[in-house]
Amino acid sequence: MKRFYVLIGFAMTLTMLLSGIAQARSMDEILESKTLKVGTTGDYKPFSFNNNGKYEGFDIAVAQSFANKLGVKLELIPTTWKTLMRDLKVGKYDIGMSGITRTIARQKEACFSQGYVTFGKTPLVASSKAANFKTMADIDKKSIKVGVNPGGTNEKFVRANIKNADVILFESNLEIPVAVASGKVDVMITDSVEAIYYAASNPKLAAPMLDNLFTRSQLGYLMPADATRLQDTVNFMMDQMILKGEMKKIKSQYLHMD
């Protein structure tokens, strides 16, 4: 009889693994392990950037602050926009921190922290062509090439709104601003924070429609659906960072904003 129950238990465990279901780590388990696992794509400046193996950016700085406050070690777990939700569900990481947009679709499968940056979708174009792009109609032409990274909200926006322009897929988000600057593609539709960053750091790039954003959204930190205590703790730490001026300092350093 004991052997029967062991076999049943093994079968249930195997079924969970095969179906991609895993138990999210509780706050106690995170603290006991002395490690906070943060999933990040490393391809989204200025929030998460893999600089030759060293991760940098606004969200990386906030992740390190979280780990310090909890008294644990920060472990950065590479993920992609296409596998972001799957990796969360199978327990590869505790918190997703990579400039992730708060959406209803994601909220249905997980939970978010409070928002920490408000932004909207906008085009990033070559400075020499900035005057040509004033409306969506200027972008959605058969002569225009739009670069996009698959799996995230940028691709969803492009698929929903671009009907005539040629959509070019890039596996890495970091490749697209380079392609825009070189003329390989004409437009990158992205979050205004990223567009501002690239336009400020590269004179060959411009964000001509910042006063007329296509959407309005917020970024948040992604956690498993049942991680209520972790969610409360993350929101508490964010409030503390705001009250003590730490969040303002990090935003000034990485986002050039208060």
Q: Do the domain assignments include residue 110?
A: yes
Residues 129 and 243 in one domain: no
Question: Nearest CA to 215 among 174, 175, 161?
Answer: 161
Cβ neighbours of 137 (radius 10 Å): 9
The DSSP code for 202 is: -
Q: What is the pLDDT of residue 19?
A: 44
Residues 61 and 94 in one domain: yes
Q: Do the domain assignments include residue 77?
A: yes
Q: Do the domain assignments include residue 9?
A: no
- In the chain, the number of structural domains is 2
Q: Looking at per-residue confidence, does 21 or 218 come out higher? A: 218
Q: What is the pLDDT of residue 12?
A: 47
Q: Do the domain assignments include residue 14?
A: no
Per the structure, the complete domain to which residue 56 belongs is given by 24-118+217-254
Residues 202 and 230 in one domain: no
Q: Do the domain assignments include residue 212?
A: no
Q: Kindly report the pTM of this predicted structure.
A: 0.77
Q: Do the domain assignments include residue 91?
A: yes
Residues 184 and 57 in one domain: no
Q: Do the domain assignments include residue 10?
A: no
Q: What's the pLDDT tens digit per position in 129-181? A: 999 999 999 999 999 999 999 888 999 999 999 999 999 999 888 999 999 99
pLDDT surpassing 50 at residue 15: no
What φ, ψ does residue 11 adopt, rounded to 5°?
-65, -40
